[in-house]
């Protein structure tokens, strides 16, 4: 029987560079970043101008690549799940 398994990484997170850690999760791991509408252009340069003062949520790939901008955290989580991606908490 064949199982699709990810290779195991035999290193502690402290031994991995941020770039290597992000590469491990590329295409599978996402995180959600809360931001204000005034900060959207920094992450989504192509986004149109938005009304100031809005609380928004960005779904980002493990390497920081923007995926989705929404006004609800739940919508960001649902979008990740719909595309078979895992959302992790980043502090």
Per-domain residue ranges for the chain?
27-88
In 3-state terms, what secondary structure has residue 75? helix
Q: What angle do CA 91, 20, 22 make, to 5 degrees?
A: 45
* Per-residue pLDDT at 21: 56
Mean pLDDT, rounded, of the chain: 81
- Write out pLDDT tens, residues 10-49: 445 555 566 665 566 566 788 999 999 999 999 999 999 9
pTM: 0.70
* Per-residue pLDDT at 86: 87
């Amino acid at each position: 029987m064949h199982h699709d398994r990810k290779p195991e990484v035999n290193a502690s997170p402290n031994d991995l560079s941020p770039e290597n850690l992000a590469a491990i999760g590329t295409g599978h791991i996402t995180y959600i970043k809360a931001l204000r509408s005034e900060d959207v252009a920094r992450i989504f340069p192509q986004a149109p101008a938005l009304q100031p003062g809005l609380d928004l949520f960005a779904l980002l790939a493990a390497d920081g690549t923007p995926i989705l901008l929404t006004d609800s955290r739940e919508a960001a989580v649902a979008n990740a799940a719909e595309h078979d991606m895992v959302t992790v908490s980043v502090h």
